[in-house]
A and B are shown apart, each in its own frame.
Chain A
C-alpha cells in the first residue's frame, strides 16, 4: 500500500501570497487592458453602424464585406506596396550596414548603433519633415541635381510614393538593423572559414552559409519594419500629401472623421490577423519573439 503523500508538497500559504503579489498585477493588467480590449475590438467589428456614429448591437458581416470594395482594396494594395518597398530597402541597406558593424570593434559598433538611434530619440517625425525641404520642387536635391546637370527640369519627388517610402525607411531602418546585427554578430566565423576552406567561393559561402544562418535576424527585421509600416499613418499624412493612403490612415479616418467605429474595428482586426499570421510563420521558422522587442 502506498502511503499518502504529504500535503505540504503542495504550495504553502506564503507561496501563494508571493505568487499573488508578483504575478497578480501583470495578470490583471494584461486581462483588463490587453485581452478584454482585443475581445471588444473583435466583437465591435461585427456590429452595425447607426446614424451619427451610434453603434447598433446587431450582428453583421458588412464591415468585412466592405473590404472588397475597390476603394478599400486599393488602399490595402497600396499599403502592401509601400510596406513591401520599405521592407525590401530596409533589408538591402540594413544588412550590409549590420555586417559592417559586426566587423568593427565592439566600441566602434556601439557608437555606430547610437548614431543610428539618435534621430529616433530626438524625434523621427520632426526630422522627416526635413524631407519636405529636401525633396520639394525647388528643394535642395532638385536644385543640386539641376546644378550638376543630371536633370534639366525639377523632378516631382515630394508627395509621391517615393517620398513616403523615404520617410518610412527613415523611421524603421534603425530598429531593423539591431536584430540583423545581433544575428550576424552571433554567427560562428569558423563556419564561414570552413566553407571557404572546403572550396566554396565567397559569394557561394554568403548564400549557402552566412545568409541562412542569419535569416532569423533578417526575418525579425522584416517583421519590425513591415508591421508598423502598414499602420503608421503619420508619414503618409506628412509626405504623402493626400495622394497615398494606407490602412493606418483609413483606420484613423474611421475614428476621427467618418466615425464608423465598427468598420475601423474590422480594419484593425484584419491588420492584426495578417500580422499574427506573419509572426506565426516567424516563430515556426525558429524566430524568437523576444527579438521583436
Chain B
C-alpha cells in the first residue's frame, strides 16, 4: 500500500437524526501514524463523526473508508479500529486481566498467547501486577490505562479516543496527555482523539479538525490553527481572542479601513477577499493587543481600563469600550500597565490581527452612514 494513502477517509459524509443535521458534508483524510484531534464544543458532531468511523453510526450520505475500502456494510466488530470510551466502558464483571484479554478471547487465541499479550499490554500502560484486581477497586487513572490496554491488544490500525480524559482531575489529565502522546509515538498507531478541551488538542495533536455545528471549520496543525485561525469561530474557540465586529469601509493606502457600529475605525492589512461593504470580524490575541496614551495612526479605538486581573505569570488588563464590550490585554513581567480609569487608545502591529468575512450580522448596511458615525465620533473624542 502506498505510504501516502490515507488510512481513514470520510468522503462527503452527512448525518441526519431525523431533521437534525448533525454532520454536514464532512471530508477528512487521516494519514497513517498521525495524531488527529476532532475539537469542538459539545453537540458539534465530533463524537458522531468518531462513531461513524468505529461503525456504531452509519452516515446518511457519503462514505467512510478504512484503508481505502468502503466500510459501509462492515459492522463495528469486523472493523480493524478500536475505541477508548468516554467513561472507559470496562466490563464490571471481569477483572483487569480479563478485560484486557477480551479482544483475544473473542478471537479464540490460545491461552498462552493471551497471557503473554496481556502481560505485555499491562506493562505498556504501567499496570503490572494488577491482573487480578476488580474494576471497582481501580482509580480513575488506572481504569483509563486498562481501557487503553484493552483497546490496543487487538493491534488496531486506528485507535479512536472519545474524550478519554474527561473524567480525570486536572493534574492526572496533564500527566495522561503526555503518556498518551508518548504511547502513540512509540506504537506508531493512528490516533483519532475527540475532545472539547482546546488546550488538550493543542498539546497532543499533529493535526486538529475544529468542528462547529457539524462543519469542519479548519483542519491544520496546532500552530497554524492558533496563529492563523480560518474563521471567526476558530479564533474565538482556540486560545483567547478579542473579537471586534465591523464593516469594511474602503481602502486606506495599503490598508483596509473598517468601522464598528459605534463609530470606531481601524485600518488593517488589505485582504483581497474583502470588499467594501462586507461585514467582517477582526480578531486580536490579548498578548498582541497594545495600548498608547497618545492617538495612534490608523486606529481610533478608545477604551477605559476597568480592571487588572492578576494571573500569576501575567496581568490581564480589562478595557471597556464605549459600546460596553470589553477587550483584554495581556501584560507580562516588566510590561507597562495603565491604571484603572485611564482612557487608552488600542492598537496592534500590522499582521497581528486576523480578519474574517461574516455572512451578515450588521444592522446598518450603508457605508456612508458608517463613515459619518466615525467622523462624528472622532470629532467629539479627539
A residues within 8 Å of B by Cβ?
2-3, 5-6, 8-9, 12, 14
Inter-chain contact B58/A8, CB cutoff 8 Å: yes
A-B contacts besides A8-B72, A14-B75, 15 pairs, CB < 8 Å: A2-B61, A3-B61, A5-B60, A5-B61, A6-B58, A6-B59, A6-B60, A6-B61, A6-B72, A8-B58, A8-B73, A9-B58, A9-B59, A9-B60, A12-B75
Query: CB-CB < 8 A to A3: which residues of B?
Result: 61
Query: Distance (Å) between the CB of B9 and the closest chain A CB?
Result: 16
A181 to B198, CA, bound (A): 47
For the A-B complex, the count of residue pairs with Cβ-Cβ distances under 8 Å equals 17
A5 to B14, CA, bound (A): 10
A138 to B61, CA, bound (A): 85
A255 to B230, CA, bound (A): 82
Query: CB-CB < 8 A to A2: which residues of B?
Result: 61
A-side interface mostly:
loop
B residues within 8 Å of A by Cβ?
58-61, 72-73, 75
Query: CB-CB < 8 A to A14: which residues of B?
Result: 75
For the complex of A and B, the 5 pairs showing the least CB-CB separation, nearest first, are A9-B58, A5-B60, A3-B61, A8-B72, A8-B58
A26 to B60, CA, bound (A): 32
Query: Distance (Å) between the CB of B176 and the closest chain A CB?
Result: 35
In the assembled complex, 17 residue pairs joining A and B whose CB atoms fall closer than 8 Å, in A order, are A2-B61, A3-B61, A5-B60, A5-B61, A6-B58, A6-B59, A6-B60, A6-B61, A6-B72, A8-B58, A8-B72, A8-B73, A9-B58, A9-B59, A9-B60, A12-B75, A14-B75
Query: CB-CB < 8 A to B75: which residues of A?
Result: 12, 14
Query: CB-CB < 8 A to B58: which residues of A?
Result: 6, 8-9
Query: CB-CB < 8 A to B72: which residues of A?
Result: 6, 8
A3 to B58, CA, bound (A): 15
Query: Distance (Å) between the CB of A178 and the closest chain B CB?
Result: 26
Query: CB-CB < 8 A to B61: which residues of A?
Result: 2-3, 5-6
A3 to B63, CA, bound (A): 12
Query: Distance (Å) between the CB of A207 and the closest chain B CB?
Result: 42
A2 to B60, CA, bound (A): 11
The closest CB in chain A to the CB of B15 belongs to A9
A5 to B58, CA, bound (A): 10
Query: Distance (Å) between the CB of A215 and the closest chain B CB?
Result: 35
Query: CB-CB < 8 A to A5: which residues of B?
Result: 60-61
A5 to B60, CA, bound (A): 5
A9 to B62, CA, bound (A): 11
A67 to B75, CA, bound (A): 61
Query: CB-CB < 8 A to A12: which residues of B?
Result: 75
Query: Distance (Å) between the CB of B76 and the closest chain A CB?
Result: 12
The closest CB in chain B to the CB of A9 belongs to B58
The closest CB in chain B to the CB of A15 belongs to B75
Query: Distance (Å) between the CB of B74 and the closest chain A CB?
Result: 10
Query: Distance (Å) between the CB of B354 and the closest chain A CB?
Result: 35
Query: CB-CB < 8 A to B73: which residues of A?
Result: 8
Query: Distance (Å) between the CB of B71 and the closest chain A CB?
Result: 10
A164 to B60, CA, bound (A): 65
The closest CB in chain A to the CB of B57 belongs to A9
A5 to B16, CA, bound (A): 10
A3 to B73, CA, bound (A): 18
Query: Distance (Å) between the CB of A145 and the closest chain B CB?
Result: 57
The closest CB in chain A to the CB of B12 belongs to A3
A19 to B61, CA, bound (A): 25
Q: Which of B61, B73, B75 has its CB near the most chain A CB atoms (within 10 A)?
A: B61
Query: Distance (Å) between the CB of A227 and the closest chain B CB?
Result: 37
A200 to B317, CA, bound (A): 49
Query: Distance (Å) between the CB of A138 and the closest chain B CB?
Result: 60
Query: Distance (Å) between the CB of A1 and the closest chain B CB?
Result: 12
A98 to B16, CA, bound (A): 50
A223 to B72, CA, bound (A): 51
The closest CB in chain B to the CB of A14 belongs to B75
Query: CB-CB < 8 A to A6: which residues of B?
Result: 58-61, 72
Query: Distance (Å) between the CB of B151 and the closest chain A CB?
Result: 24
Query: Distance (Å) between the CB of B180 and the closest chain A CB?
Result: 33
A8 to B60, CA, bound (A): 9
A9 to B73, CA, bound (A): 10
The closest CB in chain A to the CB of B59 belongs to A6
The closest CB in chain A to the CB of B16 belongs to A5
A8 to B57, CA, bound (A): 11
Query: CB-CB < 8 A to A8: which residues of B?
Result: 58, 72-73
A44 to B168, CA, bound (A): 64
A8 to B73, CA, bound (A): 7
A36 to B68, CA, bound (A): 54
Query: Distance (Å) between the CB of B11 and the closest chain A CB?
Result: 12
A245 to B58, CA, bound (A): 63
Query: Distance (Å) between the CB of A157 and the closest chain B CB?
Result: 55
Query: CB-CB < 8 A to B59: which residues of A?
Result: 6, 9
A237 to B54, CA, bound (A): 64
A3 to B59, CA, bound (A): 12
Query: Distance (Å) between the CB of A140 and the closest chain B CB?
Result: 52
A12 to B73, CA, bound (A): 9
Query: Distance (Å) between the CB of B22 and the closest chain A CB?
Result: 13
Query: CB-CB < 8 A to B60: which residues of A?
Result: 5-6, 9
Query: Distance (Å) between the CB of A267 and the closest chain B CB?
Result: 47
The closest CB in chain A to the CB of B63 belongs to A6
Query: Distance (Å) between the CB of A19 and the closest chain B CB?
Result: 15
Query: Distance (Å) between the CB of A9 and the closest chain B CB?
Result: 5
A218 to B83, CA, bound (A): 46
A14 to B75, CA, bound (A): 10
Q: Which of A2, A5, A12, A14 has its CB near the most chain B CB atoms (within 10 A)?
A: A5
The closest CB in chain A to the CB of B61 belongs to A3
A157 to B58, CA, bound (A): 72
A213 to B59, CA, bound (A): 46
The closest CB in chain B to the CB of A8 belongs to B72
The closest CB in chain A to the CB of B72 belongs to A8
A12 to B72, CA, bound (A): 11
A192 to B60, CA, bound (A): 52
